[in-house]
Amino acid sequence: MEFSGMELLYGGVLPAHRCHGRFSKLLAQAKRLRMPLRAVVKHANAGAIAAQLVKGGFLKRGASMRPDEDTFVWMP
């Protein structure tokens, strides 16, 4: 699949370090680049990342190339 933007690669955050705004800050910095962003989230993700992406303006674009993931895209 062709995508002319930035891919946000998955990175886990230990439970003790969650809810400190790190992911929100990462998204804000990436959006400042003013280029399309794409993120893939596994269905088994325990950190509610999919909901955070939607809250941050990302749109769900359906399943990924793997059946256990969803793709989210943000357009400036």
Contact 22, 30 (CB under 8 A): no
Instruction: Give residue limits of the domains in the chain.
Output: 33-76
CA 23-27-28 angle, to 5 degrees, is 115
| Cα–Cα distance, 69 to 62 (Å, whole number) | 9
List pLDDT tens digits, range 6-33.
888 877 778 888 788 888 888 899 999 9
pLDDT of residue 26: 85
Pairing of strands 6-8, 37-42: parallel
Which two three-digit tokens encode residue 22?
Answer: 């790190």
* Residue type at 62 in one-letter notation: G
pTM of the model: 0.81
